[in-house]
Amino acid sequence: MKQLEDKIRKEARIFPGNVLNVGSFLNQQIDVPFMMDMGKELARLYQDAKVNKILTVESSGIALAMAVACHMNAKLVFAKKKQTANMDDNVYSAKVYSYTHGLENRIVVSRAFLTPEDRVLIVDDFLAMGEALNGMIELCRQAHAAVAGCGIAIEKGFQPGGDALRKAGIRVESLAIIDRMTENELLFR
Amino acid sequence: MKQLEDKIRKEARIFPGNVLNVGSFLNQQIDVPFMMDMGKELARLYQDAKVNKILTVESSGIALAMAVACHMNAKLVFAKKKQTANMDDNVYSAKVYSYTHGLENRIVVSRAFLTPEDRVLIVDDFLAMGEALNGMIELCRQAHAAVAGCGIAIEKGFQPGGDALRKAGIRVESLAIIDRMTENELLFR
C-alpha cells in the first residue's frame, strides 16, 4: 500500500536494534482516517474469504482490527495477555514470547468467542518473528475455527516470521513489507 | 442510551463483587456496528466542545475511542500501562490503582502526542472509582492540554468515581449509568 510506505518514510523513526517507531500514526497516536483506509484495504484483499470474525491481541492491534471489522461486517475479538500462568477452563490459551519485551506472555481468549463455526482473519499491526500470529493461530486450532489468513500493517521482511507462515501454507497479507532497514535506509519489497 | 441499557439487560452477566461482565459485546468480543453507534452518540454529545483529540488507556478503551474518533474527525491517543516504575523524560505519567486487579499501574503517554494546543475528550469503557479517568486528567494537566470532558460507555453509579468528577467540575457523559446491581436486579439512572 503506497500510502503506508510514504507515511513510514515520512514519519517513522528508526532506532538501533531494528526498532521502527511508528507511534505517531499507528500505535500510541492513531491517524484514524488513515487507519480506516488500511482497514478497508485489508477488507478488500480478503473480500472473498468468507470471514466472519477478526481476531487480534491487545493492545496495539485493536485499532487496526476495529478498522478491518468495520469494513467486513465481522465481529472483533481480542485475545488478552496474561503474564501469570493462571489457567481457566473457560479459555483457550497459547504462549507468546515477546522479543520486544524479553518475556513470555500467555494469550487467552474466552471459549465462548471462538468456535468451530468461525472463519477468522487474524489482524495485527506488526509482523516480525511471527510469535503473536502463531499464538493466535494456535488459539484458532484449539477452537477448531478456520483461519482465512493474516492481515498486517507492517511486516519486517528481513525477519523470518512472515515467510515461515507463508511456507506453512498460511495466507499472509501485509500492507507494507520492509526488506532492509538501517538508520539511513528503508527498502520496501 | 436505550440500546445500551437493553443490551446490558440482555447480554451482561453479573458476578459477586459488583463485577459486570460485558465481554460479549464491549470488551474481549466487540459488536462493531453497535460500538460505532456508541461512538456516534458520544460524538453527538460533545459536538460543540471543539475536541481535536481523544485520549484513552490501553486496552479495553481503544475500540470505543476509535469509534468516537471516527465520528469526531479527531486524532486518537492511548496511554500505555507500565507496571515498572521506569520513568522516561519523554513521557507524561500518572499512577492508577486498579481495583479489578489489585495493583498500581503507571500510565504513560509520549509528550509529543499531548500538547497545550489539544482539547481532549477522555474516553473509556467503564467508570467506577474513577482511577483511570483521574490518571488521564493528570496526564492532560501535565501537558497543559484542555479537558473537554469524559465519555464513558457504562458508569457504575453506585460507586463514587463519576459523581466525584462531576462535583469537581469535569463534564462526564455516560451512555448508561447503573445505580443498583445485584445478581437479580439492574437499575439504571
In this prediction, residue A185 has a pLDDT band, given cuts at 50, 70 and 90, of confident
Contact A30 B113 (CB under 8 A): no
A2-188 has which fold?
Rossmann fold (3.40.50)
More confident residue, A151 or B16: A151
Give mean pLDDT, residues A7-36: 91
Contact B28 A69 (CB under 8 A): no
In this prediction, residue B108 has a pLDDT band, given cuts at 50, 70 and 90, of very high
Q: What sign does the CA torsion over A7, A13, A19, A23 have?
A: negative
pLDDT of residue A88: 60
The answer to whether the CB of A52 falls within 8 A of the CB of A58 is: no
In this prediction, residue A159 has a pLDDT band, given cuts at 50, 70 and 90, of very high
How far is residue B79's CA from residue B106's CA, in Å, rounded to a whole number? 10
Contact B28 A78 (CB under 8 A): yes
Give mean pLDDT, residues A159-172: 97
Query: Cis peptide before B59, with omega less than 30 degrees from 0?
Result: yes
Q: What is the pLDDT of residues B3-46, one digit of tens each?
A: 999 999 999 988 887 788 898 999 899 999 999 999 999 999 99
Give mean pLDDT, residues B127-135: 96
What residues of chain B lie within 8 A of the CB of A84, using their CB?
none
Angstroms from A23 CA to nearest CA on chain B: 9
Give mean pLDDT, residues B136-162: 97
pLDDT of residue B27: 86
CATH of B2-79+112-188, one of 3.10.180.10, 3.40.50.2020, 2.60.40.1730, 3.60.15.10: 3.40.50.2020
Q: In 3D, which of A123, A120, A2 has the Cα closest to residue A63?
A: A123
In this prediction, residue A82 has a pLDDT band, given cuts at 50, 70 and 90, of confident
Grid cell 457504562 is found at B154
Check if B103 contacts A (Cβ < 8 Å): no
Q: Tell me: pLDDT of A62 over 80.
A: yes
Of the candidates B30, B74, B110, the beta carbon closest to that of A23 is on B110
Q: What is the pLDDT of residues A91-148, one digit of tens each?
A: 999 999 888 778 888 999 999 999 999 999 999 999 999 999 999 999 999 999 999 9
**Mean pLDDT of all residues belonging to chain B:** 93
By CB atoms closer than 10 A (0-12, 13-18, 19+), residue A102 is: exposed
Amino acid residing at B36: M
User: What ipTM does this complex have?
Assistant: 0.92
Contact A77 B23 (CB under 8 A): no
pLDDT of residue B182: 87
Angstroms from B43 CA to nearest CA on chain A: 14
Q: What is the CA radius of gyration of chain B?
A: 16
Contact A69 B32 (CB under 8 A): yes
Say whether B176 sits in a helix, a strand or coil: strand
Q: What is the pLDDT of residues B91-102, one digit of tens each?
A: 999 999 888 778
pTM exceeding the 0.90 threshold for the entire prediction: yes
Q: What is the pLDDT of residues A37-55, one digit of tens each?
A: 999 999 999 999 999 999 9
Say whether A146 sits in a helix, a strand or coil: strand
Cell reading at B121: 475528550
